[in-house]
Chain A
Amino acid sequence: MSLTDLSIIEARAGLAAKNFSAVELAEAHLKGMDKARALNAFITETPELALKQAKESDARYASGKASDLDGIPIAVKDLFCTKGVRTTAASHILDNFIPAYESTVTQKLFGAGTVMLGKANLDEFAMGSSNTTSHFGPVISPWSGPDPAKAARKLVPGGSSGGSAAAVAARIAMGATGTETGGSIRQPASLCGIVGIKTSYGLCSRFGIVAFASSLDQPGPMTRSVADAALLLRVMAGFDEKDSTSVDKPVPDYSAGIGASVKGLKIGIPREYRIDGMAQEIDTLWQKGAAMLKDAGAEIIEIGLPHTKYALAVYYIIAPAEASSNLARYDGVRFGLRVAGGNLNEMYENTRGEGFGKETRRRILMGTYVLSAGYYDAYYIKAQKVRRLIRDDFTKAFEKCDAILTPTAPSTAFAIDEKQDDPIQMYLNDVFTVPVNLAGLPGISVPVGLGADGLPLGLQLISRAFDEMTLFKTASALEKAAGFNHKPFTA
């Protein structure tokens, strides 16, 4: 078995037993990155840093001082500020930005000994569901074909954490960090056949993550197994005084949930997720997933989440509104791109007009409009009110059940040139994931099967806020029953 095929748990055991070194493990991944460069999974590769960190890790293993994730090579979504390493958010406006500080999540990961292979590609400012809005070009899914650059249908990896998902699926990173605002971890995880968890709002620090919509943004791990996700999350999670919405709660050992019994747990099936025109294979997979959990001892019950159909509309008011405010900081004065203009206003307008891509500009304009005088109540306040109803739906549902099972995405991966003309068609990708962000809950996508086109499909589990443990229990049971062991062409 190749070193790059190992799970994080296996790699950790191999490193501890000195079967191979952290440098060897890093080199194997760097070699894989060379071969898989056509995927465009990374914006910035950091081989020198990786080898330096791996060497330090080997020294810690030699002296018996290795940490939890020592020597594990990971990809970091290029939305996390990394000290001294260019951080672009996949935008032209930040393409020369070198942070002077480290995000809390990457700080924690480095503190636990992980090795950074590079900064993973994403949709510009994490705005997208296909990784096609990146200033650095789209990511091609490793499922596209044996030679992705020449594939007849170049598939999207999903988005916005598309580079992270592609890298993990293609075995050129053992795990990756992703971030979510409306499904940006779970949807690409589903499309690439890996595991991705969006955690409770406030569990992981947002400090040092380029902000998109602050009331929704939340980082999380992407891995090839539920157990690996539990390991990464334990390190990434935890209170941070630098994030005003960080929650001060002890972080449990999520690994305890792996393989734990789900006997007696109540799993809710929300009837409203059976949307019009849903592909039969998605419905079939969903029923299969419910049967798997039932066989494992869980009780399946039907629940209602009556305001589900409004979640996307709420999201596409609130997220652009918050984005238009957050992205005001890119003004060509303190950092990033500056495009000259005759006066200060012209300089602002030229910088932002040239620096932001099409989808980002569209969302800034939409956000500015719904926040502008005369429309604020009709759109923004209205959306916040419906957001409360969506949150209340979940609160009521969790009086009856412990976790909720739904599909993750409405389809398998589509081709890079599809769904580009109509923004609403693209937005519909997040129909099953967005309600979870609006409610601040944790959700996980687990690969469960393949569609008729041979591409991966995931199912989503949702739990109460800060009950990630139930998520890991149920996700691990689902993973075990599904036995998903398919690999993409480029792996």
Chain B
Amino acid sequence: MSIDPKTVARIAHLARLKVPEAEQKSLAGELNKILDWVAQLDEVDTANVEPLASVHDGTLRMRADVVNDGNKMDAILANAPAKTGDFFTVPKVIE
């Protein structure tokens, strides 16, 4: 498995991250080096091992399904780069 500049462009788009074409080649090289290095995990036999997603075994704690917060519109909008009235605004999405 090897990353070429085209793959860098593809994953950069998936991550919505602009990567100038000039940087794609060097990034591909760096990412391949890291991937070659992590490939050492292939030598570990994990045939009968369950993945560990969290060190806390069991299920997450439940809480009562009640409203315990709210009416914070001003605080939520306070850091918005652009807003109109009570709304966040973004570039036009419908042509």
Q: Is B21 among interface residues, defined by CB-CB distance under 8 A?
A: no
- Interface locus among A66-74, A259-267, A340-348, A401-409: A340-348
- Over the window 34-45 of chain B, the binary record of Cβ atoms lying under 8 Å from chain A Cβ atoms (1 yes, 0 no) is 110110111010
B67 at interface by CB-CB < 8 Å: no
- Judged by a CB distance under 8 angstroms, whether B60 is at the interface is yes
Residues of chain A lying within 8 A (CB to CB) of residue B75: 100-101
Over the window 175-207 of chain A, the binary record of Cβ atoms lying under 8 Å from chain B Cβ atoms (1 yes, 0 no) is: 000000000000000000000000001100000
Instruction: Report whether B52 and A241 are in contact in the complex, using a CB–CB cutoff of 8 Å.
Output: no
Report chain B residues within 8 Å CB of A247.
56
A362 interfacial by beta-carbon distance below 8 Å: yes
Contact between chains at A368 and B11 (CB < 8 Å): yes
In the complex, residue of chain B having the shortest beta-carbon distance to the beta carbon of A339? B18
When the two chains form the complex, which single residue of B1, B8, B15, B46 contacts A375, counting CB atoms closer than 8 Å? B1
Chain A residue with Cβ nearest B93: A344
Is A348 in contact with B16, judged by CB distance below 8 angstroms? Answer: yes
Total residues of chain B contacting the partner, CB 8 A = 51
| Docked-complex contact A391 and B52, CB < 8 angstroms | yes
A331 contacts chain B at the CB level, 8 A cutoff? yes
B residues in contact with A382, CB < 8 Å: 41-42, 46
CB interface residues, B 32-89, toward A, < 8 Å? 33-35, 37-38, 40-42, 44, 46, 49-56, 60-61, 63, 72, 75-76, 78-82, 88
State which of A101, A369, A386, A465 has its C-beta within 8 Å of the C-beta of B44: A386
Q: Mark A324-357, 1 if CB is under 8 A from B, else 0.
A: 1000100111111110111111111110111010
Nearest residue in B to A365 (C-beta to C-beta)?
B11
Which stretch from A132-140, A153-161, A164-172, A306-314 is at the chain B interface? A306-314
From A241, A324, A331, A440, B56 is in contact (CB under 8 Å) with A440
B22: CB under 8 A from chain A?
no
**Pair A352/B15 contact, Cβ less than 8 Å:** yes
Q: Which listed residue (B1, B41, B91) contacts A344, Cβ 8 A?
A: B91
- How many residues does chain A have at the interface if contact means C-beta atoms less than 8 Å apart? 72
Q: Looking across the interface, which residue of chain A has its beta carbon closest to that of B95?
A: A343
- Chain A residue numbers with a CB within 8 Å of B72 are 100
Interface code B4-24, partner A: CB below 8 Å = 1, 0 otherwise? 000110011111111110000
Q: A172: shortest Cβ distance to chain B, in Å?
A: 30
From A333, A337, A338, A365, B27 is in contact (CB under 8 Å) with A365
Contacts of A244 in B (CB 8 A): 60-61
**Contact in complex: B37, A424 (CB < 8 Å):** yes
Assess whether A383 is interfacial by the CB under 8 Å rule: yes
Q: Are A310 and B41 in contact (CB under 8 A)?
A: yes
Complex Cα–Cα for A343 and B81 (A): 16
Instruction: Using CB atoms, name the residue of chain A closest to B62.
Output: A244
Cα–Cα distance between A328 and B16 once the two chains are bound (Å): 9
Q: Is the CB of B34 within 8 A of A424?
A: yes
Contact A347/B17 with A317-B38, A332-B81, A384-B53 known, Cβ cut-off 8 Å? no
A interface residue numbers (CB < 8 A to B): 96-98, 100-101, 201-202, 215, 241, 244-245, 247-248, 307, 309-310, 313-314, 316-317, 324, 328, 331-338, 340-350, 352-354, 356, 361-362, 364-366, 368-369, 372, 375, 378-379, 381-389, 391, 422-424, 439-440, 465
Nearest 8 interchain pairs by C-beta: A353-B18, A440-B55, A384-B51, A335-B79, A338-B81, A100-B75, A388-B52, A385-B46
Instruction: List 11 other contacts, CB 8 Å, given A328-B15, A365-B27.
Output: A100-B76, A201-B56, A244-B60, A334-B76, A338-B81, A352-B15, A361-B19, A365-B12, A369-B35, A381-B51, A385-B49
